[in-house]
Amino acid sequence: MDLLDILTDKGLRRELPTREEALAVLATTDDQLLDVVAAAGRVRRQWFGRRVKLNYLVNLKSGLCPEDCSYCSQRLGSKAEILKYTWLKPDQAAEAAAAGVAGGAKRVCLVASGRGPTDRDIDRVADTIAAIKDADASVEVCACLGLLSDNQAERLKAAGADAYNHNLNTSESTYGDITTTHTYADRVDTVAKAHGAGLSACSGLIAGMGESDEDLVDVVFALRELDPDSVPVNFLIPFEGTPLAEEWNLTPQRCLRILAMVRFVCPDIEVRIAGGREVHLRSMQPLGLHIANSIFLGDYLTSEGQAGQADLDMIKDAGFEVEGAEQTTLPRHRAHAAAGGGCGGHQEEGACGTGGGCGTACGTVCGGHGEAPEAVETADVESAGTRAAGTEDEARTDLVRVRRRGAGTELAPNA
C-alpha cells in the first residue's frame, strides 16, 4: 500500500498518521501533486461533502499592538503603512458584519489587536455581539482578542459568542524565534480556556516564516492534540516594514502540500484557507477547495483579498456550494459531542456539514500508526522546507495590498 492510500484510509477512519507519513506528504514532488490533492479531497468529501463555509473578518481595533510577533503588520515597531484606529462602536462593527453576511458568510470573526482584552473590552465585544445577533440570530460569532484571563471566555460565551480563535502559529521549539513578548504555553492556555468555557475552539498556523517541514508537522500534531473544531491555515503575507518582509518561501504547490498534510492529520476538522491564499496560491486557489472546506470572504485584517464576488464565482466554478445557515457545520459525530455549544448546533439529520463546531469534540480519536509508506520517491526531492518561491525579483510583492476599505474607513467593505 503506498503513502496516499494509507493516508486516505486513515483519514476516512479518523486515524492519526505517523509523523513520517505527514513529513512524506510535504516531500512529494510536483509530479505527484494532483494525486496528493485527490487523496486529500477524498477525505474532505467524506466528512464535509462539497460545501464551503464562508467566514468574514471584522477588525475591531487595528494596529498599535504592544506584542512583537514578527509576522504581524500590527506589531510593536511595525513600519507597515496599515490602517490604525481604536475600537469600532458596536453599530459600526455590526454594519461591517452585515456586509459579510449579505455576501454569504456564515461566521463573523471579531478581531482586535493587542495582548489580550481588559474586562471593559469584553463588555465592548459583548455589546457588538448583541448588535450582530439582533440583526441576524443565525450568524456564528467568533472572537479573536488575544490572550484570555480567567473567566473572560465564560463572559464571551454568556454574551453569545460561539467560538474563540487563538492560533499556535508555529512549533513550540521555534516559537521564541518569532515572538518574545508571550510564550507558546500562553497560547495553549488560551485555547484551553475557550474549550473549558464551551466555546468552539479555533486554532491554526502560519506557514512560510522560514520554518522547516518538521516545524510544520509539529504544530499540526499539536493542534490535533488540542482538538479544535477549526484550523485556519495562514500563508505568511510578507508586509514591508515587518521583520519577515523578505520571507518569500512559498509556491502554490508548497501551499497545496501543506493544506493536504493538515487535512490528513485533521480529517474531520474544519480546515480553513486563511490569510495569504491570494498571494501564494494565486491561480491555484480552486485546487485548495478540494482540500479545505472553509475560506475567508473578501478582505483580511490589514490586507485586501480578492473581490468577494470572485470568491463566490470560484466556489461555483470549482463545483462546490456555499454552506447555508441552516446546514450543520460539523460532521455528525463531532456535532453530537459538541451539543450545547456555539456554532454547529443545527443538528440536521444525516448531514456531514462543514467546519466550525463547538464545545468539546468527539470522544476518543484513534492514534494508530499503521504501516510505513512504500511508494514515495524522495531521494532526489529538494527539501520543501528550504525550497524558495524563486529569486527575490520573482516574489509577487505586487499582490500584497494594504486594506484601505471596510472597517475603520468610510469606504464600503469588500464582501
Give residues with Cβ within 8 angstroms of 59, minimum separation 6: 83, 111, 112, 113, 301, 302, 407, 408
Mean pLDDT for 66-85 is 87
For the cut 50, the answer to whether the pLDDT of residue 383 exceeds it is no
Segment 348-365 mean pLDDT: 30
144 is catalytic: no
Residue in 14, 44, 51, 69 annotated catalytic: 69
202 is in an annotated binding site: yes
User: What number is the average pLDDT over the span 352-368?
Assistant: 31
Tens-digit pLDDT profile for residues 130-173: 999 999 999 999 999 999 999 999 999 999 999 999 999 999 99
Q: Is the pLDDT of residue 385 over 70?
A: no
- Which string of b and e fits 318-346 if b means at least 16 CB within 10 Å? eebebbeeebbbbbbbbbebbeebbbbbb
Mean pLDDT of 21-46: 98
Q: Which residues fall within 8 angstroms of residue 370, CB to CB, at 6 or more apart?
A: 6, 9, 10, 15, 17, 18, 21
Which of 144, 202, 266, 343 is labelled catalytic? 202
Is 366 assigned a ligand-binding role in the annotation?
no
Which of 107, 272, 332, 334 is the catalytic position? 272
Rounded distance between C-alpha atoms, residue 157 and residue 154, angstroms: 5
pLDDT for res 399: 85
Q: For 246-266, give the DSSP string.
A: T-----HHHHHHHHHHHHHHS
Q: What percent of the chain is modeled with pLDDT above 90?
A: 72
352 in catalytic set: no
**Closest alpha carbon to 384 in 231, 211, 227:** 211
Alpha helix (H) residue ranges in 243-349: 252-265, 277-280, 285-289, 308-317, 332-337
Per the structure block, which three cell numbers stand in for 247? 520571507
Give CATH superfamily name and number for 3-372+393-399.
Aldolase class I (3.20.20.70)
| 402 confidence band (pLDDT: 50, 70, 90) | confident
The rounded radius of gyration (Å) of the Cα atoms in the chain is 20
Considering 44, 65, 107, 254, which one is annotated as catalytic?
65
* Whether the Cβ atoms of residue 48 and residue 352 lie closer than 8 Å to each other: yes
Average pLDDT over every residue of 16-27 = 98
Q: Check whether 69 is labelled as a binding-site residue.
A: yes
The residue written with cell numbers 510593536 in the block is 76
What are the cell numbers at 237?
A: 503575507
From CA 346, how far away is CA 162, in angstroms rounded? 13
One-letter identity of residue 131: A
Residues composing the chain: 415
- Answer whether 0.85 is exceeded by the pTM: yes
Residue type at 140 in one-letter notation: E
pLDDT at 351 over 60: no
What type of residue is 62? S
Sign of CA dihedral 347, 330, 278, 182: positive
| DSSP structure class, residue 371 | P
Is pLDDT of 55 > 80? yes
Tell which wins on pLDDT, 290 or 85: 290
Cβ atoms within 10 Å of 100's Cβ, excluding its own: 28
Measured CA distances, 93 to 73, 207, 410 (Å) = 21, 29, 13
Q: What are phi and psi of 133, to 5 degrees?
A: -70, -30
Q: Provide the 8-state DSSP code for 137.
A: T
